[in-house]
Amino acid sequence: MALDLHKLFTDVFHPEPDECVVVVTDAPQGELADHTLWAERREMAAEWQAAWSTLGEQVGFSVLPLVTFPAVGAHNGNLPLDQGDPIVLGEALEQASLVLALTEFSATAPMVVWATDHADFRAATLPAVARRMEETALSADYQEVARRCRVLRDALEEAERGEVRFSTGHTWTVDLRYRDALMDDGQLPRGKEKPVINLPSGESFKVPYEGEREGNPSLTAGEIPVQRGEEVVVFRVEGNRIVEVMGDGEEAGKWRTYFVVDPVRGNIAEFAMGCNPKAVVWGNVLEDEKAGFHWAYGRSEHLGGTVGPDDFLSPDTIVHEDIVYAKDSPIQVASLVLVAADGQSQEIIRDGDYLF
């Protein structure tokens, strides 16, 4: 059955009569080659813009033409605000109270930055969204998604550290002090305190403490296994940074080079738990991360951390990238325990399954 876009838009965004909505998408340019899923996404963007237009006629809000801008080539890189067709992207964002970004490269971080300086603005980002998601995570009951998110957010809020044991036997301790727990619960009404979400939605998260307080280093440390093809690479973490990539294969070599080029990429930027019951793991991080536990490296300021674009060596090395360990992933979470300041502990995940 086809996804009811009007229902999705109404259930998630609760649009009001005096609003202005814009759908934006990116297009290949330079050395960035087009591919089937990317072309399909641009078709989806056109369909979603048309659906918003018909809903706008019913409710009374305005909808701008679909805005296409040249792809930036990296997730969460700075957007080309002075470019766009048929409207320059920056001008479209200035007019809009609601933005949906169906893009190849994630626009989440720059949308968060934009929102901090613009009142009455909110955005949903859909990096690498695929049409098949209209039958899975996008079709979820977002009231149930919100309930699950609240349970996990409340548990994270009380936690000062997370203890993770992976199915490979590696262990990792994450310092969760001094941070607020947040959630992406699939609700984005006008005036929401945190005005940017991913769609499909369904996760609660904290940025690990990054050691910014003088004389108080981050205690995030351990070993994180990452599966790439047939190869398992292990990231050794100290002080909330990836300090060593262990492994003898080709993938390990690529990762070593990647973090040497700009060590700030190795910042542990997010500790998160996806909880969308319709989400499935199929190799697309936007949906995969909503199906279970994940973490991210790179910039964190858009989620409440301290590492932003100016900390990287150049705009070309800015990144925020998620790595997922959901139930159907090759490597899973054997146990995830959250520990509060008073020593009380709560096991959240066991053998890949949530315990609630």
Opening angle at CA 270, ends 130 and 183, nearest 5? 70
DSSP labels, 294-344: EEEEE--GGGT-S--GGGSSSGGG--EEEEEEETTSSS-EEEEEEEETTS-
DSSP three-state, residue 250: helix
Burial code of 54-85, b = ≥16 C-beta within 10 A, e = fewer?
ebbeeeebbbbebbbbbbbebbbbebbbeebe
Residues carrying CATH 3.40.50, the chain: 5-129
* Location of structure tokens 């398992």: 232
CA-nearest of 31, 93, 41 to 67 is 93
CA-nearest of 330, 354, 298, 353 to 225 is 330
10 vs 32: CA distance, rounded Å: 35
228-to-12, 169, 170 alpha-carbon distances in Å: 35, 17, 16
User: Cα 275 from chain centroid?
Assistant: 13
pLDDT of the chain along its 356 residues, tens only?
579 999 999 999 999 999 999 999 999 999 999 999 999 999 999 999 999 999 999 999 999 999 999 999 999 999 999 999 999 999 999 999 999 999 999 999 999 999 999 999 999 999 999 999 999 999 999 889 999 999 999 999 999 999 999 999 999 999 999 999 999 999 999 999 999 999 999 999 999 999 999 999 999 999 999 999 999 999 999 999 999 999 999 999 999 999 999 999 999 999 999 999 999 998 888 899 999 999 999 999 999 999 999 999 999 999 999 999 988 789 999 999 999 999 999 999 999 999 98
Structure tokens given for 216: 């108080």
Give the model's pLDDT for residue 1.
Answer: 54
Categorise residue 248: left if φ over 0, alpha if ψ from -120 to 50, beta otherwise: alpha
Give the model's pLDDT for residue 24.
Answer: 98
320 vs 302: CA distance, rounded Å: 10
Give the model's pLDDT for residue 328.
Answer: 76
40-to-4, 37, 66, 126, 331 alpha-carbon distances in Å: 18, 5, 15, 13, 30
106 vs 352: CA distance, rounded Å: 27
Taken in order 102, 103, 107, 111, the sign of the CA dihedral is: negative
89 vs 77: CA distance, rounded Å: 15
Task: Specify the length of the chain in residues.
Answer: 356
158 CB contacts (<8 Å, ≥6 apart)?
338, 340, 341, 344
Whether this prediction's pTM lies above 0.95 is answered by: no
41 vs 131: CA distance, rounded Å: 7
CATH architecture for the domain at 5-129: 3-Layer(aba) Sandwich (3.40)
8 A C-beta contact, residue 26 and residue 70: yes
8 A C-beta contact, residue 291 and residue 281: yes
209 CB contacts (<8 Å, ≥6 apart)?
175, 176, 177, 178, 179, 218, 219, 220, 240
286 CB contacts (<8 Å, ≥6 apart)?
126, 127, 128, 129, 133, 198, 200
